[in-house]
């Protein structure tokens, strides 16, 4: 990924926050002359280690029984930025349209695991984290489902572990703009309902006023 | 991409609508043993033909001077779906968590173009479409910027054309659920501010009631 220095995201709290808030990874691998991409929720379990599962009918685990190199991309909100949103446009008109976004790219390796024990552990971990987030005290639990149903569900999936070897992140959030332009873009994001982008801009203050 | 038949999106209006509403493509190519992905707004200009531009400092155009195979992924909103949102859970508890999303994958080929004429045409097309969408009657135009500034901007980019050879799309929108569960998930999407997902569900009615 091309990252100008002022858009390189190095804050580990920001990076882990992005993965937690936008866990549906775009998981890309390469097969012969083509790409295969799937969209899979992934959860961090250890440093540089993420887990998830795919459908058994997804042939990835057959194509790559010993595992595969993969790129996992986590994407937050993104939004167009109009030159009209820069108050300084009136002074100098030296602006062009752009796009704001935050992404995390993890280059690493996937290995599959067909054991019932691992599959149960992975769906248990995913369920616990997401249900706490969305259902709170009413969190749904694996044990709420009948045993035969849950066993059939486990039979239909394959668990995987993704070990990240390189992690790079980009926060393109108008932080290279002068303060009044930055604040105006942030306000436009709020008006357009891009709450996460506006909050991310608040965290990523302009680094210079030039 | 693994797509069960009931999640295969074949509606061309839905597919072109996704690309128009979520134009920031994840553009993946492959280099040696690694992946390179960039996030670039892309615009349809002809059937199966999309244009965009990258920064001249992005070394893609030097690594692949004759063009490259690429996967362009367009992603709409995505959201967790809790089993608690299915009214039928109370009856049978035969549900597990899942994730709803819509994506378009275009497999094709990128070629770069360094001519001033093409670069100006591409930024003009992108600006016209996005400014009409965001600024309406107040649309910013290239001619609003001083000539020297615009020439410097054009010097700093490289235009590209992406020719899509294969397009596949997936709408995973609870359309395989019974009506009362589907409607309840849609209501939860609305409550959680996932307006586009809720609207997309409205378009993609349940195909069966089983």
- Name the residue ranges covered by the structural domains of chain A: 5-203
Is residue B188 over pLDDT 60?
A: yes
DSSP H helical segments within B95-142, as ranges?
Answer: 116-135
The residue behind tokens 């809790």 is B82
CATH of range A5-203; options 3.90.1150.10, 2.30.110.10, 1.10.3720.10, 3.40.47.10: 2.30.110.10
The residue behind tokens 């995973």 is B172
Task: Indicate if the alpha-carbon torsion angle A192, A193, A197, A199 is positive or negative.
Answer: positive
Is residue A159 over pLDDT 90?
A: yes
Per-residue pLDDT reduced to its tens digit, B34-62:
899 999 999 999 999 999 999 999 999 99
Query: What pLDDT score does A208 carry?
Result: 53
ipTM value greater than 0.85: yes
CATH of range B5-122+158-203; options 2.40.50.140, 3.40.640.10, 1.10.10.10, 2.30.110.10: 2.30.110.10
Query: What pLDDT score does B22 carry?
Result: 97
Give the integer Cα–Cα distance in Å for A110 and A126: 17
**Arithmetic mean of pLDDT over chain A:** 94
Is residue B209 over pLDDT 50?
A: no
Give the integer Cα–Cα distance in Å for B50 and B80: 31
Q: Is B105 on the interface with A (CB under 8 A)?
A: yes
Is residue B210 over pLDDT 90?
A: no
Please state, as a whole number, how many other Cβ atoms lie within 10 Å of the Cβ of residue A161.
20
Is residue A89 over pLDDT 60?
A: yes
Of the residues A119, A140, A184, A197, the best mutation for testing chain B's interface (the one with the most B CB atoms within 10 Å of its CB) is A140
What contacts A171, CB < 8 A, 6 or more positions away?
A: A7, A9, A14, A102, A200, A204
Half-sphere exposure of B165 (CA within 13 A, CB side): 10
Q: Is A149 on the interface with B (CB under 8 A)?
A: yes
Determine which of A144-148, B13-17, B36-40 has the lowest per-residue pLDDT on average: A144-148
Helix (H), strand (E) at residue A44:
strand A43-46
Query: What pLDDT score does B206 carry?
Result: 67
**Over pLDDT 90: what percentage of chain B?**
87
Per-residue pLDDT reduced to its tens digit, B65-94:
999 999 999 999 999 999 999 998 888 888
Give the integer Cα–Cα distance in Å for A204 and A173: 7
Which tokens sit at B90?
């109370």
Is residue A78 over pLDDT 70?
A: yes
Q: Is B147 on the interface with A (CB under 8 A)?
A: no
Which of B71, B84, B99 is opposite residue A35, by nearest beta carbon? B71
């Amino acid at each position: 990924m091309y990252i100008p220095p002022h858009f390189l995201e190095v804050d580990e709290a920001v990076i882990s926050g992005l993965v937690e808030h936008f866990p549906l990874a775009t998981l890309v691998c390469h097969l012969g002359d083509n790409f295969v991409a799937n969209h899979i929720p992934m959860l961090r379990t250890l440093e540089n280690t993420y887990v998830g599962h795919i459908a058994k009918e997804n042939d990835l685990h057959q194509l790559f029984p010993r595992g595969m190199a993969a790129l996992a991309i986590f994407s937050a909100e993104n939004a167009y930025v109009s030159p009209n949103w820069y108050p300084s446009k009136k002074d100098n008109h030296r602006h062009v349209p752009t796009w704001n976004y935050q992404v995390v790219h993890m280059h690493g390796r996937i290995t599959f695991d067909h054991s019932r024990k691992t599959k149960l552990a992975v769906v248990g971990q995913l369920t616990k984290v997401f249900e706490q987030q969305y259902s709170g005290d009413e969190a749904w639990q694996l044990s709420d489902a009948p045993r035969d149903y849950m066993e059939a569900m486990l039979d239909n999936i394959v668990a995987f572990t993704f070990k990240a070897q390189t992690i790079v992140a980009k926060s393109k959030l108008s932080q290279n703009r002068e303060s009044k332009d930055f604040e105006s873009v942030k306000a436009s994001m709020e008006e357009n309902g891009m709450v996460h982008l506006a909050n991310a801009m608040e965290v990523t203050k302009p680094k210079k006023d030039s």
